[in-house]
Structure 1
Amino acid sequence: MKAYIVGGAVRDRLLGRPVNDRDWVVVGSTPEQMLALGYTPVGRDFPVFLHPQTHEEYALARTERKSGRGYHGFQFQAAPDVTLEQDLARRDLTINAIAEDPDSGALIDPYGGQRDIAKRTLRHVSDAFAEDPVRLLRLARLAARFTDFSVAPETLALCRRMVDAGEVDALVAERVWQELSRGLMEARPDRLLTVLRDCGALARLLPEVDRLWGVPQPVAHHPEVDTGEHLLMVLRIAALLDAPLPVRYACLCHDLGKGSTPAAQLPRHIAHEARSVELARQVSERWRVPVDCRALAELAAREHGNIHRSANLNAASLVRLFERCDAWRRPDRFDALLLACECDARGRGGREDEAYEPRPRLNAALAVARAVDTAEVARAAAERGSKGPQVGAAIAQARAQALREHGLAE
């Protein structure tokens, strides 16, 4: 048997990027031999083992054959006579189909991966790429990671044929969210959407997002005009600010309602916030988005306009804003909401470097309002005979008064 380093570890080393873990492919072995050597089996669909000391993954060289729709429809064959070249042939992109001999350092590159690294090109190994729709999502994610790479025209054309054939319709929610969430966390999450849109997959997976392109906005507030282009700019700012996943997902969903604005209202978007909340909820349910991401997305969709205009709110209105956002109990989530709003405000033509004043001001106001001794206010209100909602009103008044006294609102 012979083991080779394969895939991302080889690719990243050639790109001068950190190599955090290594995957191996084993040629000329059987599951029984791997067990006899002390490897621990972990694969269910095909033989994958953990090394007894390093715990790195070692997979037996294998071939695969499409047997149905979606990414589940495969039959695998792992046998001692499967060659390294055959194993590399089943991989998605040429830059991922390079192997390294750990003994000599020699590279085995039968499909031109080094050439495409030099050309900064994402290219499929073979037409077998089309058999697994997850590869289309992975392609978009890698475009978001490797920001100076472009997708080969023939690969993009193949992706379009996959979409037309309905392959992406067979994807399950868990895999879609896994790839979307990882793509949103890459250096250029906007490129994730661009690649998906260029091949038609965005309209199938996220039609609510795809509808934003071609929808105008008032030029006074949005010099970039097009709502889809605004979204791409917002995601770029989110990456620039190193925003966590819930914030980036909130950015993705914050303006979805603008895609359904009646044509007679354009370029204005009256009440788009309420429509955005409902559409964000639909996206989250479709792809089984985690609770922290979906909650912040709905909050940002509903409140981002109010936060942008918060300098005009009086003290009582600010307290109501905090209440709607559950900021008393979740100040951390409220700050995440403000970060999403900052991304929205700065994701506009010529405003990328502008400071976002509402974020420090509202955080300071929240700190003052939260410092009010609500137990003491409630006790005093109860002594006056107040009950239930009256006590709540007294607490709200005390918080508003604290904001006035600190000069944070009128």
Structure 2
Amino acid sequence: MAEKLTPLHTDLVPVHPGIEIVRLAALLAEGGALDEDALGVMFEQTQRGVLGSVAPTGLWPDLARGLMSPSPELMIQALRECGVLDVVLPEVVALFGVPQIADNPAEVDVGEHLLRSLAVAARCKAPLEVRYALLVMNVGKSDSPREHLPVHYRHIERAIPRIESISERFGVSEPCRELALLALTECERVHRVSAVRAGPVAAMLERVGAFRDRTRFDLLMTLCTCDYLAYGGGRQMPYSKAQLLEAALQVCVALGDGALVGAGAGEDLQAARAMAIAEEFGSQRWSNEV
């Protein structure tokens, strides 16, 4: 049975009330039960403006703790219900109620999808970098022109400064910030990647740094898997796009850089990689066309 959380309890070391609100929500994500009375007190404290006197960097350790908990989505829900998210992460609050095109179902709510993706990340035991990126990578979709919805034109351009601002505000680590920006530009492309277009696959592997930083590539694949599974519709592991890119990467690694010594490197190497991927997948379209 979940332990009932008592709001604004007294510790041996005094805790700023703004930090304590976030800490209670983080404890909820760890398995506590936050009742209506507790939420009410948290709401009252938020309305009193206690968050105005605490630096966001002081909140980050407990936010990170909640994100790394078994149910991070419960922390975000609690913070939203008591108004804390409006103060500390208005960019995320603005995503709720915003439609986004999908396939099954045909549309999803961006904010609700965010919660589901965090829940999946917890089940996959994803690291903090992935969970943070899932939290913030879609913040450019909140104010997409209504006439274009549920499609989000130019959301990447809107999101970049917002992700930078959020990351600076909370003082998150550089790997967290970098993965969030990488996911912003690449996650939807990963969902669309195709074995019959070997050139773009080779270009993507180069663009995301798969040959230079295998760890970051693996983090991106984990993130894209969580995002994919969060759409529902009976989707299950393994995620075929991640498998495709992993297979393509192995083909390119086996090819090696030395095969093209003295041949002009760069573009020739990319062409060789594209051809190797095309041969592996039996693709006829191995050029670099987008």
The two structures have a TM-score, normalised by structure 1, of 0.64
1:142 aligns with 2:19: no
- 1:199-251 CA-partner distances (Å, limit 9, x unpaired): 00001111111101111123535556211111111011101111111111111
User: Which of 200, 203, 219 pairs up with 1:317?
Assistant: 200
Kindly tell me: are residues 143 and 276 of structure 1, through their superposed partners in 2, closer, same or farther at Cα, counting changes over 3 Å? same
| Secondary structure at the counterpart of residue 151 of structure 2 | coil
| Distance (whole Å) between structure 1 residues aligned to residue 105 and residue 150 of structure 2 | 10
Which residue of 2 is the match for residue 340 of structure 1? 223
Which residue of 1 is the match for residue 273 of structure 2? 399
1:190 aligns with 2:64: no
| Distance (whole Å) between structure 2 residues aligned to residue 125 and residue 291 of structure 1 | 32
Kindly tell me: are residues 265 and 125 of structure 1, through their superposed partners in 2, closer, same or farther at Cα, counting changes over 3 Å? closer
Does the 8 Å contact 2:104/2:232 carry over to 1? no
1:284 aligns with 2:158: no
One-letter amino acid matched to 1:396: Q
Does the 8 Å contact 1:133/1:167 carry over to 2? yes
1:273 Cα deviation after fit: 3.2
1:215 aligns with 2:98: yes
Unmatched tracts of structure 2, length 5 or more: 286-290
Which residue of 2 is the match for residue 179 of structure 1? 62
| Distance (whole Å) between structure 1 residues aligned to residue 269 and residue 9 of structure 2 | 66
Does the 8 Å contact 1:335/1:363 carry over to 2? no
Does the 8 Å contact 1:223/1:348 carry over to 2? no
Kindly tell me: are residues 126 and 175 of structure 1, through their superposed partners in 2, closer, same or farther at Cα, counting changes over 3 Å? closer
One-letter amino acid matched to 2:151: R
1:174 Cα deviation after fit: 2.9
One-letter amino acid matched to 2:49: G
Structure 2 counterparts to residues 86-105 of structure 1, below 5 A: none
Does the 8 Å contact 2:104/2:233 carry over to 1? no
- 1:53-72 CA-partner distances (Å, limit 9, x unpaired): xxxxxxxxxxxxxxxxxxxx
User: Which of 76, 84, 87 pairs up with 1:204?
Assistant: 87
| Distance (whole Å) between structure 2 residues aligned to residue 261 and residue 401 of structure 1 | 39
1:157 Cα deviation after fit: 1.6
| Distance (whole Å) between structure 1 residues aligned to residue 282 and residue 70 of structure 2 | 37
- 1:233-280 CA-partner distances (Å, limit 9, x unpaired): 101110111111111111112222211211221122123233333322
| Distance (whole Å) between structure 2 residues aligned to residue 230 and residue 144 of structure 1 | 18
Higher relative contact order (CA 8 A, sep 6+): 2
Structure 2 counterparts to residues 28-177 of structure 1, below 5 A: 120-124=3-7, 132-146=17-31, 149-177=32-60
Does the 8 Å contact 1:346/1:352 carry over to 2? yes
1:123 Cα deviation after fit: 2.2
Which residue of 2 is the match for residue 262 of structure 1? 145
One-letter amino acid matched to 1:298: L
1:354 Cα deviation after fit: 5.2
Which residue of 2 is the match for residue 90 of structure 1? none
1:152 Cα deviation after fit: 2.5
One-letter amino acid matched to 1:304: C
1:360 aligns with 2:243: yes
Runs (4+) of structure 1 moved beyond 4 Å?
125-131, 221-224
Report the structure, 1 or 2, having the larger helix content: 2
| Distance (whole Å) between structure 1 residues aligned to residue 102 and residue 222 of structure 2 | 23
One-letter amino acid matched to 1:338: M
Does the 8 Å contact 2:7/2:42 carry over to 1? no
| Distance (whole Å) between structure 1 residues aligned to residue 25 and residue 73 of structure 2 | 10
One-letter amino acid matched to 1:257: G
| Distance (whole Å) between structure 2 residues aligned to residue 344 and residue 372 of structure 1 | 31
Which residue of 2 is the match for residue 226 of structure 1? 109
Report the structure, 1 or 2, having the larger strand content: 1
Which residue of 2 is the match for residue 351 of structure 1? 234
| Range moving further from structure 2, 275-284 or 194-203 | 275-284
Alignment root-mean-square deviation, CA: 2.3
| Secondary structure at the counterpart of residue 260 of structure 1 | coil
Which residue of 2 is the match for residue 247 of structure 1? 130
Unmatched tracts of structure 1, length 5 or more: 1-14, 16-116
Structure 2 counterparts to residues 374-385 of structure 1, below 5 A: 374-379=257-262, 381=263
| Distance (whole Å) between structure 2 residues aligned to residue 237 and residue 257 of structure 1 | 22
| Distance (whole Å) between structure 2 residues aligned to residue 301 and residue 408 of structure 1 | 30
| Distance (whole Å) between structure 2 residues aligned to residue 172 and residue 303 of structure 1 | 32
| Secondary structure at the counterpart of residue 121 of structure 1 | coil
| Distance (whole Å) between structure 2 residues aligned to residue 352 and residue 238 of structure 1 | 15
Q: Percent identity?
A: 34
| Distance (whole Å) between structure 2 residues aligned to residue 221 and residue 269 of structure 1 | 18
One-letter amino acid matched to 1:406: E
Does the 8 Å contact 2:80/2:86 carry over to 1? yes
The two structures have a TM-score, normalised by structure 2, of 0.89
- 1:136-179 CA-partner distances (Å, limit 9, x unpaired): 01011011001xx4323222122112222221122223322211
Kindly tell me: are residues 187 and 224 of structure 1, through their superposed partners in 2, closer, same or farther at Cα, counting changes over 3 Å? farther
Which residue of 2 is the match for residue 326 of structure 1? 209
One-letter amino acid matched to 1:399: R
